């Protein structure tokens, strides 16, 4: 079976402690240094990542504010454009109505002038017909002065009859 020898146990313990001491001086120190360095590197990377995330959040917030401001400006511009278009439409309609009114007044004036000219022409024709008819009826020559007097009276009477 297994026998325990005290010399072997002592040498095992001595070898264990010597190896532990050598490992601590040669292996453990550099190993801990590498682990600490790696830990420091990871810690720095996490810190930079957190700072980058915070910066990204600030940048996103700023962009959202700018987007909201731009949207407000666009809405304002659209509202102003609509108001301007409505104002222009109103002005155009008003001008068109004024122009139409002027054209109607001009047409009425032209019609009145034409009516006056037609009335004057009609009066002359009536006067000529009256003189011709009277001349045929009386078969006598009427002098120019009497002729004009008869025409004027006929025109006055004819005008009064038309008005009634």
CA distances to 129, 142, 149, 155, 162 from 146, rounded to whole Å, are 16, 6, 5, 14, 24
Is 67 domain-assigned? yes
Is 95 domain-assigned? yes
37-52 burial, b if ≥16 CB within 10 A, otherwise e?
A: eeeeeeeeeeeeeeee
What average pLDDT does range 126-140 have in this prediction? Answer: 67
For residue 163, the model assigns a pLDDT of 58
Is 102 domain-assigned? yes
3-state helix, strand, coil split of the chain in percent (to 5) is: 95, 0, 5
What's the pLDDT band for 65 if we cut at 50, 70, 90?
very high
Is 57 domain-assigned? yes
Lookup result for tokens 């006929």: 154
| pTM of structure | 0.42
Q: 143 pLDDT exceeds 70?
A: no
Number of domains in the chain: 1
Lookup result for tokens 């278009």: 85
Is 81 domain-assigned? yes
Per the model's pLDDT, the better-predicted residue between 22 and 162 turns out to be: 22
Is 71 domain-assigned? yes
| pLDDT digits 0-9 by tens, 74-88 | 999 999 999 999 999
Full domain range(s) for residue 134: 39-163
């Amino acid at each position: 079976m297994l026998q325990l020898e005290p010399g072997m146990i002592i040498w095992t313990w001595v070898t264990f402690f010597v190896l532990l001491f050598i490992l601590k001086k040669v292996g453990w120190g550099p190993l801990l240094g590498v682990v600490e360095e790696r830990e420091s590197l990871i810690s720095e990377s996490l810190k930079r990542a957190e700072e980058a995330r915070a910066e990204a959040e600030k940048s996103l917030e700023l962009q959202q504010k700018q987007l909201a401001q731009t949207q407000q400006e666009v809405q304002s511009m659209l509202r102003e454009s609509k108001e301007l278009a409505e104002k222009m439409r109103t002005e155009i309609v008003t001008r068109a109505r004024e122009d139409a009114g002027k054209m109607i007044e001009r047409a009425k004036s032209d019609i009145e002038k034409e009516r006056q000219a037609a009335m004057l022409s009609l009066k002359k024709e009536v006067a000529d017909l009256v003189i011709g008819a009277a001349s045929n009826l009386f078969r006598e020559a009427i002098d120019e002065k009497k002729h004009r007097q008869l025409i004027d009276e006929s025109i006055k009477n004819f005008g009064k009859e038309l008005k009634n």
